[in-house]
Amino acid sequence: MNSENKKFDLGERTQRFGEDIIVFVKEIKSSIINNPLINQLVRSGTSIGANYMEADGAESMKDFMHKIGICKKEAKETLHWLRMIAKANETKREECRKLWKEAHELVLIFSAITKKKPNKTFDI
């Protein structure tokens, strides 16, 4: 299947991002500075996908929008922790930059969703 035919799957994208965060932090040396930064990054970076899964299964539009808002918040928090890790680990800056770019794109996507207020129907 070529890229033109691939379905855009935000669930897969957010889960893959969480996996990329996990792989990345495994390469960071444990230290008194790095350990809390790693913990926070793993929490925020992996929760984006979990909250998106909750949004996808939302029971109402209000619930959906709330969960998408949490996705946006967690993605923005991830930007912060990536910046802190880059500062604490200069040899990891380029990897942080790549992850930061993806987190930033997720922020933009979730921002667009919250501004658009999608027409999602729910079965009750």
pLDDT, tens digit only, all 124 positions of the chain: 344 434 569 999 999 999 999 999 999 999 999 999 999 999 999 999 999 999 999 999 999 999 999 999 999 999 999 999 999 999 999 999 999 999 999 999 999 999 876 555 544 3
**Measuring CA to CA, how many Å separate 105 from each of 40, 42, 58, 74, 82?**
20, 18, 23, 13, 14
What pTM did the predictor assign? 0.86
CA 91 – CA 98 distance, rounded (Å): 13
Domain spanning 10-115: CATH superfamily? 23S rRNA-intervening sequence (1.20.1440.60)
